[in-house]
Chains A and B, each alone.
Chain A
Amino acid sequence: MAAVEKRRQAVPPPAGFTDSGRQSVSRAAGAAESEEDFLRQVGVTEMLRAALLKVLEARPEEPIAFLAHYFENMGLRSPVNGGAGEPPGQLLLQQQRLGRALWHLRLAHHSQRAAFNNNVSVAYECLSAGGRRKRPGLDGRTYSELLRRICRDGQAPEEVVAPLLRKVQCRDHEAVPLSVFRAGTLTCFVLLEFVARAGALFQLLEDPAAAVADRRVGQAVLDTLEGALQASDAAAPARFLEAGSRLGPDSLALALDRAVGGRRPSAPMTREEFLERAAALFIAKVKPVG
């Protein structure tokens, strides 16, 4: 890569400095300073510092791949691709902004709340920035599109997330403030994790050969969860204790035993139905935007 790029003129070149750029012991201190100045002037210092800060904030599992993506996205920002020809159209710009915003939002897990909130702010700014033909601010249509993309890329089935989107999406013409943006994106990511857990739960309940679960068992588990979520008008500590006792292994074992021991016959429940019903319990607790 380095061989293709043109070499800048070093300012000023010290005497006796060869083009191969090898360090020699007799180098004066001035040469070292000029290199530092050089880096600072072209903005590499600042860029690397920002990149390292991002890595520290996000703590990704694969830092090198993370950095590679980071620099790739940086390339999108600079007007390098242009050169000659028409500037990219509105649609392409819009897609680019969305992609960048999504990338920012995925940098940190929602449980790393401070980092997540930072990224939300950056994504919001990215989407709200004014352009040549765009007024500053985030409109409802872009926001709704972003939420749809988050859910789709999170591999949650459409029917499962549709009720949530209906609750948190904004109308096309509405202006979306940062607080609504933050709440909506957080809710989507948390729902994705919830659906992933529900999927893992279904795998515990299902009959591996048939890929369906016993309806009585599935319903018993969902009913227990619903009961624990509803036992929630009391103050915080009592509520958590009650939920904890309902969702403990003993209590669940009893519920499962009772469900299977009854006289109702066994019937199958598919994964899709289980996920939909579980997600409905979550979505019921989401406050709609208004």
Chain B
Amino acid sequence: MSRVLVPCHVKGSVALQVGDVRTSQGRPGVLVIDVTFPSVAPFELQEITFKNYYTAFLSIRVRQYTSAHTPAKWVTCLRDYCLMPDPHSEEGAQEYVSLFKYQSPSVTFPKWLSHPVPCEQPALLREGLPDPSRVSSEVQQMWALTEMIRASHTSARIGRFDVDGCYDLNLLSYT
């Protein structure tokens, strides 16, 4: 299945702010960007790509037209997706971001579910690999035995004063 760019119209950002924008001090924390699709033909959105510019968190809401007779409703596809781990640092501030559509089995799910999960989910184990829970049990016991020995250090010394045979007669005689 090939992918094509969908023409869209991105409107200017609007600040969500209580009070008058012109008179009140400070800059707003939340901005809203409207994206509309001028083409009427229905399509399945696969991916959104954009370049971030100092936005920390992103939420995406989609207005879905499910059928001709029911009114369109707003569905939240993404809520507070973190683009910058620390809003006060540079990390992620000007990165290119791709958000993918999740293949949902049920039709009633919103078209968008989530971005790809950062950490890997444990996939189905390949054939021929040993049972991880039994391996884990043995390895944990081995770890516990080693930890026990590490902890049970005896402070008693045997009174050995030489280091690696430095009292060896042959060595002494050569000084």
* Mask: chain B, 125-139; 1 = CB below 8 Å from A; 0 = not: 110011111111011
Give the residues in chain B near A282, CB-CB below 8 Å: 142, 145-146, 149
Q: Which partner residue on chain B sits nearest A207 by CB separation?
A: B128
C-alpha spacing A204/B137, complex, angstroms: 11
- Interface hit among A32-40, A47-55, A252-260: A252-260
Give the residues in chain A near B153, CB-CB below 8 Å: 183, 287
Tell me which of A170, A180, A200 contacts B138 (CB under 8 A): A200
* B 108-147 contacts with A by CB, 8 A: 120, 122-123, 125-126, 129-136, 138-143, 145-147
Asked if A290 contacts B160 (CB within 8 A), the reply is: yes
**Interface residue? A248 (CB, 8 A):** yes
Which of B126, B134, B149, B160 lies at the interface centre, i.e. has the most chain A CB atoms within 10 A of its CB? B149
**Interface residue? A229 (CB, 8 A):** yes
Asked if B154 contacts A201 (CB within 8 A), the reply is: no
C-alpha spacing A290/B158, complex, angstroms: 6
Asked if B157 contacts A260 (CB within 8 A), the reply is: no
**Interface residue? A146 (CB, 8 A):** no
* Mask: chain A, 1-28; 1 = CB below 8 Å from B; 0 = not: 0000000000000000000000000000
**Interface residue? A249 (CB, 8 A):** yes
* Mask: chain A, 235-268; 1 = CB below 8 Å from B; 0 = not: 0000000011001111011101100110000000
Asked if B139 contacts A225 (CB within 8 A), the reply is: yes
* Mask: chain B, 149-168; 1 = CB below 8 Å from A; 0 = not: 11011111111100000000
Interface size for A (C-beta < 8 A) is 50
A217 to nearest B CB, angstroms? Answer: 7
Asked if A201 contacts B152 (CB within 8 A), the reply is: no
**Interface residue? A228 (CB, 8 A):** yes
3 A-B pairs with least C-beta separation: A179-B156, A253-B132, A183-B154
Q: Report which B residues bind A (CB closer than 8 A).
A: 120, 122-123, 125-126, 129-136, 138-143, 145-150, 152-160
Name 19 A/B residue pairs within 8 A (Cβ), A-sorted: A174-B158, A190-B149, A193-B145, A197-B142, A204-B138, A205-B130, A243-B143, A247-B136, A247-B140, A252-B135, A252-B136, A253-B122, A256-B125, A256-B129, A256-B130, A257-B123, A286-B149, A287-B153, A290-B158
